[in-house]
A and B are shown apart, each in its own frame.
Chain A
Amino acid sequence: MIEVTNYRDNPLIDPHLEIWEWQISVYLFLGGLVAGLMILNGLWRIRDREHETKAITNSAVLWAPVLISLGMFCLWLDLVNKLNVYRFYMTFQIKSPMSWGSWILFLVYPAQILAVAVAKGSDVFGGVLKGLNPLLQILKSITNGREKQIAWLNVVLGVMLGIYTGILLSATAARPLWNTALLGPLFLVSGLSTATAWNMLSRPTKIEHSSLAKWDFSLIITEMFLLLLILIGFLSGTEGHQSAGMLLLGGGFTAVFWIFVIILGLLFPLWLELREMRGHSTPAWVAPALVLLGGLALRFVMVQAGQVSHLPDTELLFGAVGH
């Protein structure tokens, strides 16, 4: 990919319809997941509930920097000029979502480290990382009493990161499937949902688990509602939007979208969580595992289908680049 600008006048966009491969999908998935983890962790702390948690404010906090680094690694794998990565930080372009993104990612790390510092217990690090604990004690003494501010910082940056993962795509006007204002909120909600799922798999306490299941239930319904709105938006939109929508409604991405995103990624976990709430015996790990799978499938479908979707010739702003 060509860094910083990703509009259609970028000569690489049009002739090569699939220049973004799995790396971008995984990156967007992990970015959304980490955004969700930051928000959940922050909110839980703001509501003074960390004394009853294990997963949300402890293990999730430790995983967030690891996961975002993994995502950044995927993104870096995708860069053509791998050494030029520093240039992202030599500039700030207010109109470029990628520039915004790189700065958000830059700020996310310190916020996460502060979140680790205020995490409950002094033995957050164990095993190999035990050596880091003295450092943690120093950080703890600095951050003492500022837990709430740190929580808010994480929430705000989490929301920015979550929305950014959607905006990154929707800013590309030449790709009608991405060109919807709801993509940011969709990815944010999906990110939150995958984060609740991640926490549900991190051996949460009983209290945490029931809260997480309830949240996830509402998040899944919200996500389905957003997807419905997006699809209606496509069908009632321009010719380009309609053909983009048809990619998911009978076109080349129908199977993956409906099977992995809608049925297995949303409806199935929704049903399982409902069963669990009603007291039927249900293996607790299946629903969250499917939510994670669905979140990854959603990024995959949106990135791949989005690259195939294009404006009809009449709507082309830059006629010079052929199909």
Chain B
Amino acid sequence: MNFPIESTGAFSFSTGMLMTFLIGVGFGFFLEKGGFSSARKLTAQFYLRDFAVLKVMFTAVVVAGIGFWGLVHLGMLDLEFTFINLTYIWPQIVGGLILGIGFIVGGYCPGTACVAATTGKLDALWCIAGIFFGIFVFSELQPALKAFQNSGEMGEVFVWQWLGVSPGIVLLGAVLMAIGAFSLGTIVENKKGSVVQPD
């Protein structure tokens, strides 16, 4: 098999968008199942009361990461036709920080705000309105911020390249890190009895 299938021309753009929609259904479904439609559950991560954000995200990253690099290793997934986030280290560091602060202030991130809105959370609608406003502000100011947004450009660079090891080592490290963080998190959760459930 040659992955991504999209690059083989097996289906039209429009058919691809239908599949994308179905992928999105899965995305939204599992986000909601994980409890990411609740701002209280999401933010409880940062008060060390509910480790769902870390557990869900890291499990997903590790599962997808192993699958992704496994397929690349087997020569089945062609990196050339795969979208890899380019590294612009400074805007990513600053943007990540702003997003993290925005997350604890707003209670959701953009994707989870959508999911929360579909389960009737009115605060998520305000959060979405805010996201639109923030995008508007940035887009208006972008000509002035352009130099910074393009600073620290490193192109398509992977953590394992930067560390000078193989992808497998990095993934192994991520798995160990995940197991450690999950165990610690579970101990804390059990001690406090603070996992958030819907009411």
Given a CB threshold of 8 Å, the question of whether A touches B is answered with yes
A-B contact pairs, 12 of them (CB 8 A): A250-B12, A253-B14, A254-B17, A255-B14, A255-B15, A255-B18, A255-B21, A256-B14, A258-B18, A259-B17, A259-B21, A263-B21
- Report which residue of A255, A256, A258 has the largest number of chain B beta carbons within 10 angstroms of its beta carbon: A255
B18 CB, nearest partner CB in chain A, Å:
5
Q: Give min CB distance, B163 to chain A, whole Å.
A: 41
Say whether B12 contacts A251, CB under 8 Å: yes
Give A286's nearest chain B residue, CB to CB. B118
Interface residues of B in 24-64 (CB under 8 A from A): none
CB pair B12–A254 under 8 Å, yes or no, is yes
Q: How large is the interface on A (under 10, 10 to 19, 20 to 34, 35 or more residues)?
A: 10 to 19
Chain B residues with CB below 8 A from A11, complex form: none
CA distance A258 to B15 in the complex (A): 9
Which chain B residues border A250 with CB–CB below 8 Å? 11-12, 14-15
A-B contact count (CB 8 A): 28
Of all chain A residues, which has the CB nearest B25?
Answer: A263
Known: A252-B13, A255-B21. 12 other contacts (CB 8 A): A252-B14, A254-B12, A255-B14, A255-B15, A255-B16, A255-B17, A256-B14, A258-B18, A259-B17, A259-B21, A263-B21, A283-B120
B15–A254 CB distance below 8 A: yes
- Residue of B with least CB distance to A263: B21
Nearest CB to that of A252 among chain B residues? B14
A251 surroundings in chain B (CB, below 8 A): 12, 14
Per-residue CB contact flags for chain A residues 257-281 toward chain B (1 = under 8 Å, else 0) read 0110001000000000000000000
Nearest to A254 among chain B residues (CB) is B14
Q: Which residues of B contact A256 (CB under 8 A)?
A: 14
Chain A contact residues: helix, strand, loop or mixed: helix
Q: Which residues of chain A are near B15, meaning CB under 8 Å?
A: 250, 254-255
Contacts of B17 in A (CB 8 A): 254-255, 259
Q: Tell me what chain B mostly uses at the interface: helix, strand, loop, or mixed.
A: helix
Q: In whole angstroms, how far apart are the Cα atoms of A250 and B15 in the complex?
A: 5
Per the bound structure, the CA–CA distance linking A251 and B18 in Å amounts to 11
The distance from the CB of A253 to the nearest CB of chain B, in whole angstroms, is 6
Q: Which of B14, B17, B18 has most chain A Cβ within 10 Å?
A: B14
The distance in angstroms between the C-alpha atoms of A137 and B13, with both chains bound, is: 59
Rounded to whole angstroms, the CA-CA distance of A196 and B80 in the bound complex is: 51
Say how far B162's CB is from chain A's closest CB, in angstroms. Answer: 38
Instruction: Report the separation of the CA atoms of residues A15 and B63 in the bound assembly, to the nearest whole angstrom.
Output: 52
State which residues 12-29 of A face B: CB under 8 Å.
Answer: none
Query: Least Cβ distance of A242 to chain B in Å?
Result: 16
A53 to B130 alpha-carbon distance, docked (Å):
42
The answer to whether A252 touches B12, judged by C-beta atoms less than 8 angstroms apart, is yes
A254 to B14, CA, bound (A): 6
Contact partners of B16 in chain A: CB under 8 A: 255
> Could you tell me the distance between the alpha carbons of A251 and B16 in the complex, rounded to whole angstroms?
10
On chain B, the residues within 8 Å of A253 by CB distance are 14
CA distance A254 to B20 in the complex (A): 12
* In the complex, chain A residues 118-164 whose Cβ is within 8 Å of any chain B Cβ: none
Question: Looking at A250, A251, A254, which has the most chain B CB atoms within 10 Å of its CB?
Answer: A254
Name the residue on A nearest B17 (C-beta): A255
CA distance A250 to B12 in the complex (A): 6
The 10 closest A-B pairs by CB, nearest first: A255-B17, A254-B14, A255-B14, A255-B18, A254-B15, A259-B21, A258-B18, A252-B14, A250-B15, A254-B18
Q: Which residues 120-144 in B have Cβ within 8 Å of A in the complex? A: 120
The smallest beta-carbon distance between B52 and chain A, in angstroms, is 25
Which of A251, A259, A263: most chain B Cβ within 10 A? A259
How distant is the Cα of A283 from the Cα of B118 in the complex, in angstroms? 11
Nearest-Cβ distance from residue B198 to partner chain A, whole angstroms = 13
CB distance from B101 to the nearest CB of A (A): 33
Digitize B106-122: 1 where CB-to-A-CB distance is under 8 Å, 0 elsewhere.
00000000000000100
C-alpha gap A255/B120 in the complex (Å): 27
What is the bound-complex CA distance between A251 and B12, given in angstroms? Answer: 6
Query: In the bound complex, what is the Cα–Cα distance between A255 and B21 (angstroms)?
Result: 8
* Alpha-carbon distance between A263 and B17 when the two chains are bound, in angstroms: 14
Q: When each residue 57-77 of chain A gets 1 if its CB lies under 8 Å from chain B and 0 otherwise, what string results?
A: 000000000000000000000
Complex formed: what's the CA distance from A255 to B17 in Å? 6
- State how many angstroms separate the Cβ of A150 from the closest Cβ of chain B: 42
Which residues of A are found within 8 Å of B18, using beta-carbon distances?
A: 254-255, 258-259
Complex alpha-carbon distance, A313 and B12, angstroms: 24
Per the bound structure, the CA–CA distance linking A235 and B120 in Å amounts to 42
Closest-by-CB residue of A relative to B16 is A255
- Nearest-CB residue, chain B, relative to A249: B15
Residues of A near B14 (CB, < 8 A) are: 250-256
Which A residues touch B13, using CB under 8 A? 252
Closest Cβ neighbor of B120 among chain A residues: A283
Chain B residues lying within 8 Å of A255, measured Cβ to Cβ, are 14-18, 21
A283 CA to B117 CA, complexed, in Å? 14
